[in-house]
Structure 1
């Protein structure tokens, strides 16, 4: 391992363990250099890598801070909408159910493990139409969240995981396709079974590319002409 990687890995481990949380200030460059037995130049390069990844921020005259949950975009920002006049459409989240499941599928292939928890939610977009979301976590990760009430489930799930488990979403792979919706999605979206719709698949990774969550978002057909916004990570 290079000296540069050693410094980066040390900071990442402190974030993973909860030793450093959102808003915490890192030691100065000189202190980090002394603690790791490297040059200040090596520390500066390591910090710039972590800034680029979104894990930390640097503020002139104040220091270097952990970004924490700010790394994770809000749940619906991966697929947001504006109307024809350019107005952002607000999203309202309604939790439907939380289920512990053993059955296999694309979520288990990605997350790996034996048990999983699926959080089902319906997201209303500006009163115009609904999205149905299935959000999968490993059973052990969900258990470590502690008590999760309905209000928590109707907020940002990525931020909830980041805050309680110190596992920020570092990267998300996304796919969109047009296909026949599964029966459960059609039922929640109140459309006839067998109807086609938009299906969005998201795979979230935490530090060092560890699989963190698997999500499917479904939408039925709608006639309005809307602008789809995709935020860059």
Structure 2
């Protein structure tokens, strides 16, 4: 493991153990460099990686703070992994944006209707691999959910639909493929649109086998050897 990866992994372990919690301030770059025996440049690169994953935020003049939302295994039941040492990797969800649009695509062909909402999130798998997720709903379903703060958007959206709208997810179809990443996914993952990426498509159904949500999850190339958990 490189020095950069080792530093990032150490910070993640502190978050997982509870010694660093949401809102806590991290030591200064100099203090982190001294404690890990690396250069300040390495610390800056490690922190930049965690910022991009949504685990921490950096505020000018104030410092670096823990911000990532740790989610329970049930929240990412389709995206659970273990590393080569058989350790389950904690997932962290970071809400990026919520957009309303009329543009059609695979989501509209599946969901029907004309008005849609796309919830964009990034998911860090133990700080090792970053995923980008687009979760599509019909606009009328999203409106019935009421006001959703960032905490709600970083939880299990399927369970939210079941709890607030009495629309449980009863069946999910899943497809995977390798193809060029769309521009938005490549930008969020800091990957090239020319490089093949992993694409997972999920279609959720509710009562009477009616379409409920459409989701795409993307990842750029990565070298980690991960075990997929069922």
Deviations 1:59-98 (A, max 9, x none): xxxxxxxxxxxxxx93421121100111110000000000
| Counterpart position of 2:117 | 117
Secondary structure of 1:225's counterpart equals coil
**1:190 CA drift (Å):** 1.1
For the Cα contact (< 8 Å) 1:182–1:194, is it kept in 2?
Answer: no
Partners of 1:140 and 1:128 lie apart in 2 by 37
Query: Is it true that 1:134 corresponds to 2:134 in the alignment?
Result: yes
Shift >3 Å, 4+ stretches: none
For the Cα contact (< 8 Å) 1:183–1:194, is it kept in 2?
Answer: no
Which consecutive unaligned segments of at least 5 residues does structure 2 have? 1-72
Spell out the pairing of 1:146-225 with structure 2 (5 A cutoff).
146-225=146-225
Relative CO higher for 1 or 2, CA cutoff 8 Å, sep ≥ 6? 1
Secondary structure of 1:79's counterpart equals coil
Provide the TM-score with structure 1 as the length reference: 0.66
Larger Rg: 1
Which consecutive unaligned segments of at least 5 residues does structure 1 have? 1-72
Deviations 1:28-57 (A, max 9, x none): xxxxxxxxxxxxxxxxxxxxxxxxxxxxxx
| Counterpart position of 1:104 | 104
- Number of corresponding residues: 158
Secondary structure of 1:140's counterpart equals helix
For the Cα contact (< 8 Å) 1:101–1:115, is it kept in 2?
Answer: yes
For the Cα contact (< 8 Å) 1:167–1:207, is it kept in 2?
Answer: yes
Partners of 1:75 and 1:183 lie apart in 2 by 27
Partners of 2:74 and 2:207 lie apart in 1 by 18
